[in-house]
Each structure stands twice: as structure tokens, then as C-alpha cells.
Structure 1
Amino acid sequence: MLTSVFCMRLNTYGVVIGWLGVIFSFLATILLSVALGFVDEIAQEIVKSAQKTDLTVSEVRTGLIVLLSVYLALKVINLLASAMLVVGTVKERHLLLLPWLINNGVILVFAIITHIGVWAQVIGSQMPFLSAVPIILISVGILVLTWYLYYGIYSLFKQIQASSELQRPLIPPATQQTNSYPSYTKI
């Protein structure tokens, strides 16, 4: 497990990533809401600039509404997961980090699939090898960085989980006497 990410303690890193997620998700939510408000104008511009003449404004409008609505829902989920990451890090509650881990784990899986598709397309094209190398290296770098950032939050999750189990065990050890009702199973 990691003890720091980019020279930051894991708690600091968790709060920074959480706040960045909250800010960017909030801005994306506003932007997507505005785009949904102007979906008719956007659809008309897409049809005007499209090379295909068989596209109608109503088809493009329907596609845009579905796409923007799904993306808006995902950004709201990301906003809530990032806020829970901040709260879970500050209050040291490992279960509050799970929504962020699940959400970004799914995003990481889709990113891996997308990068493999990009690699296959670049390798399968007639592009010279020296022109394809920078694209593949940048893609691998982005994927490794994303995995490293995710692993940092996972390490924070494990650290908080281990410290909470040490602080508050659910069942006291058998050798420790507690002030409770007597146990009649020891006859």
C-alpha cells in the first residue's frame, strides 16, 4: 500500500482529490444543464454542419437529450461520490470512500477498454511506426497515472479501515471482562 501520493499524505491527497472532483463535477453539472436548455439550437447547428443530409433536427435533438441526460446523471453521481470522499477522509470513515472507489473503478475499467481500442486502431492503421509511438506512450502514461491516483485512494481506504478496526473493535476479546450481563455459557 502507498503511504503518500505526489509527496502528500494520504489524508491530504484524499481531501484534495475529493474537492477537485466536487468542483469539476459541479461545473460540469452546470454546463450540461445549460446545454440541455439550449438543446434545440445545438441540434439545429449540428444538422447544418453535418455532411449527411438524412439527419433530421428531431433525431439529433432526441440523441442529444438522451446523451446529455445520461452524462448529467453520471456527473451528479460523481459529485456525490466526491463529496462523500471528502467527508469520509475528514471523519475517517472508510465506508464513505466506497462510492468514490466504485464509481472511479468503473470509469477505470472503461478507460482501459477505450485505451485498448485506441491502441488497436493505431496499430491497425497504415500509420508509420515512429508516428504511432508517441500516441501509444501518451495513452499508456495517462492509464498508468489514472491507476496510480486510484490506488492512492484505495490505500487511504485500507489505512482508514485498519485504523478504525484497531480503535473500535466490534466484539471485545474473550479475555477482556466487560460490565455487561453475565454469560451463562461458561458453566
Structure 2
Amino acid sequence: MALKINKCCCISLPTACITIGVLGGLISLLKSIECLMHLYHLKDIKEFDGDYYDNRIDIYYVLVPNIVYVITSVLLIIGIRKDSHLLLLPWLIINVIALLLSVPTVLFFFYYSSSRGSTRNLLQIIAIVCVFLGIICWLWIAVYSLFQDIRQKRNEQLPETEKTLMNLYPRYEIVQLNV
């Protein structure tokens, strides 16, 4: 695939991708802690009406993806350190899913805002969302490029490994005797 870059933000791909993993993981970890604190404080509420359960479900909708993102960020960092391209796959897959789900969500938000007549800051919001989606796509391309590099490096090393294993064992040739 022709989707490949050599550097991200003027730094090498491994360094950039580790930075992406660390920052993304820390932000998601902080969001997860915040959600857990909200869940803890919701248990203190004595009134068990519909709002309690709605708030708890909303918190779980934020908590679960953040925990998944922390796990995939840790796998991303480990995959870069160990040169294992397969450990980068969960981060790539989760982020593609997030990007694909964010586009319809943003479109629904725009439709909902415009149908209610609140188009006051709609252009500014569209510009900000497009910038953030562009940044996320660029970071995804950086990690995907590193994935390709690691996979290519592994594939280049594989034939050498096979050659050394073949040389460890003696070769036996079939000899035909003409009697």
C-alpha cells in the first residue's frame, strides 16, 4: 500500500509512535480515573431515580472505550520496543473503528444542531472537528507506516533465519545405483 511516511512531526517514526502511545494512554487513563470517581460519587446519591441509572450508563459508555484505549496504547509501546508488528494491530484497528464511528456521530451532531436552528457557531465547530480528524488520521498513518516498517524488517530477517536453520542439519541426497 502506498500509504507510508518516514517521519512524523520532524522526529523518527518509533519515537513519534511511542509518544503517541504514551500521551494517548495517559489521557485515556486520566479519563478512566475521572469516570471511576464519578461512579463512586454516584453511589453516594440516596435517590434511585431514572437519572441515577442513566448517568451510570453514560459513564460506562466513556469508561469502557478509555480502558480499551489504555490497553491498546500499552500494546503499541510494547510492540515498538519489541519490534513486533502484530502488537501494533490492536491500536490500529481500534483507531480505525473510532474514526469510522466519529464521522457519523459528527454528521448527526451537525444535522441536529442545524435542524434546531442553532447554526451560530456551526462553521467554527466544523473547522475544529475537521482539524482534529485530520490530526488523528495523520497519527494513524504514522503508526501504520511504522507497522509496515517493522513487518518489512521481520520479513527480510525471516529468510536468513530459514537459511541458518537449513545449514544446521546435514543434507542427504538420494543416490541411485544402477545395477
Name the TM-score, length of structure 1 as normaliser. Answer: 0.76
Instruction: Report the residue type matching 1:97 in the other structure.
Output: L
Q: Deviations over 1:52-85 (max 9, x none)?
A: xxxxx42111122222234222222111110111
How many residue pairs were aligned? 171
CA contact (8 A) 2:110 2:122 kept: no
> Where does residue 48 of structure 1 map in the other structure?
none
Structure 1 unaligned blocks of 5 or more: 45-56
Which of the numbers 9, 13, 37 marks the counterpart of 2:12?
A: 9
Percentage identity across paired residues of the two chains = 24
d(CA) in 1 for partners of 2:76 and 2:31? 18
d(CA) in 2 for partners of 1:148 and 1:72? 25
d(CA) in 2 for partners of 1:84 and 1:136? 33
Runs of 4+ in 1 over 6 A off after TM superposition: none
> Where does residue 140 of structure 2 map in the other structure?
150
- Greater relative contact order, per chain length (Cα 8 Å cut-off, separation 6+): 2
CA contact (8 A) 1:43 1:61 kept: no
> Where does residue 30 of structure 2 map in the other structure?
27
Structure 2 unaligned blocks of 5 or more: none
Q: Closer, same or farther in 2 for the Cα pair 1:171/1:34, shift >3 Å?
A: same
Tell me whether 1:164 sits opposite 2:154 in the alignment. yes
d(CA) in 1 for partners of 2:114 and 2:161? 57
Q: Closer, same or farther in 2 for the Cα pair 1:184/1:145, shift >3 Å?
A: same
Name the TM-score, length of structure 2 as normaliser. Answer: 0.79
CA contact (8 A) 1:88 1:97 kept: yes
